[in-house]
Structure formats: C-alpha cells, structure tokens
A = this chain, B = another copy of it.
C-alpha cells in the first residue's frame, strides 16, 4: 500500500518530472498569394486550413536526428506540471503567452494534461516517465517560429489524418516527410493519442474558440472544425442555420454588433459581407449517447 511504501522512504524525492507538450496550431493558407495579379473574387475563396504540430529534432543520442515533442522538467521547487508546461510553451512560442489557469492559460492558448507515459521500454537509458500535455495555440503566436528554422531545429509539421500510419509531413517547403519511425521515444504513440484527444474535444467542447479570432464568421468555425476532424462535413448552409437556431445550442454563439447598433460583418472570405459571431463563455456543452442530458 502507498502509505507503507512512502513511510518507509523507499521512494526518493524527485528533482523534477519530465513534461512533453504536443503543441498544435491551425495554419491558414490563402489559396492564391496576395501579390499575384488575380481576380479579387478568387482571392476571397476559402483558405486551406491544416492542423500542424511543433516538433524538435534531437541533437544527441539516443534517437539522434529523430523528431521529438518539445519538453522539459518541473525544475523549480514550487512549480506545478501546468506551470512547467506553460514555461516550455513560452520558450517555444510567444514569450508573452499569458498567465496560468486550468486549461485557460489565455484566450489564445488551450492547455490540458493528456496522460503520463511510463512503459519501461520508452527510453533506452532507463525507466523515465513523461507527463504529456496538449496545447492548442493560435497561429499568430507561432508566426516568429514559422519565419524559418531556428537553432534548435524546431519545425511545424502538417498532420496528415487520412493515413493513420504515416502521419506527418513538413509544411513549409514540403521536403521533409516523416512518419511513426522517425519519432524519438514513444512520441509517435503520444502524438496519436493527442490527435484523438483533440478531435474528441473539438466535437464535444468549444475549444474551437482557441483557433479562431475573437470575432469570426460561421464559415470560419466550419473550416476550423473540419480541418481538425476531416469526417465533419455538414453542408455549410444547414450548419450556419442550425448552429444559431437550434434550442440545445442556445447561448453558444452571439451576434456581434458595432457601436451604431448595426450587425458587424466581415468580408474577409466573401464578397457578400458575413455576420460576425463570438462564443459566449457561459455556454456549457452537454453531450450524451443516451436520450436526455
């Protein structure tokens, strides 16, 4: 029993616990570049959105040159797992990512503990655990990184969800394509678990908000969900109508109005102005496979 073991001092006090983070973002790529001499109507077509994951290439053995999740240690005496994850997140992304909270780091970052991995064969140097986190980070916070590969060889990889075996390939130049065999440790397994976790959260909670601007059109929300969950393919017109009109989703979204009290609209993706919405954070999603509740 636990009490006996700890009381007998069998267990050494830890210096820290390893933390690895699956940092996801949703990349938005206009189908046609702005500087080209094209019809502005075509320019406004829906962008290509792809789920991307931040990986770092290992400099040393074991797994030298393999790709791994960014991670670190809870190395301060008073630091929690979440605080360590946020610290690492900041190192890899935006230095001003925000303060600490329970899955509510900032309105542009979602952070949640995924699971702890501790299979004896996961690290050739011995039995070392890893507490894995997932983070959804708004694209703009990773813009610095995307400008080019840095010293640590951190790169964003597009997640290819059609094939479940060969999962990832490089986004920027498309040259580096990697699959499960190119991952260090058990990070391939962690990443598979993380993608499933994020997909599930995307369909059962309102985390889509972390991948959207504060005010967005219904079609943007549609784009985000179907980029993360490829099987999500309702007709855009029914989706827009149902989202706002259906009773069980009352209070999920609210229309945005400007100072004059007129409906605030956006023409970012369309010639015809589209109504802007925002998520209301009072909304508590409820899902069940059984009737009622």
A residues whose Cβ falls under 8 Å from a Cβ of B: 1-3, 5-7, 10-20, 56, 58-60, 68-75, 77-81, 88, 91, 113, 115-116, 118-120, 123, 125-129, 131, 152, 203-206, 225, 229, 231-234, 238-239, 242-243, 246, 249, 252, 285-293
Contact = CB atoms under 8 A, between A and B. Distances in A.
**Chain A at the B interface: SS class:** loop
B291 A234 contact: yes
A36 to B, nearest CB: 35
A112 to B, nearest CB: 9
A293 B14 contact: no
A231 to B, nearest CB: 6
Contacts of A125: 6, 13
Contact of A116 (B91, B116, B119, B287): B116
Contacts of A289: 203-206, 249, 252, 285-287
A96 to B, nearest CB: 20
Contacts of A292: 232-234, 239
Given A2-B69, A203-B287, A203-B288, 15 more contacts: A1-B71, A2-B68, A3-B56, A3-B59, A3-B60, A5-B75, A6-B125, A6-B128, A10-B16, A11-B73, A11-B128, A14-B127, A113-B115, A116-B131, A234-B291
Given A13-B128, A232-B290, A18 B3 contact: no
A73 B10 contact: yes
A238 B72 contact: no
A11 B18 contact: yes
Contacts of A229: 293
Contacts of A58: 3
A119 B81 CA distance: 7
A286 to B, nearest CB: 8
A12 B17 CA distance: 10
Nearest to A185: B2
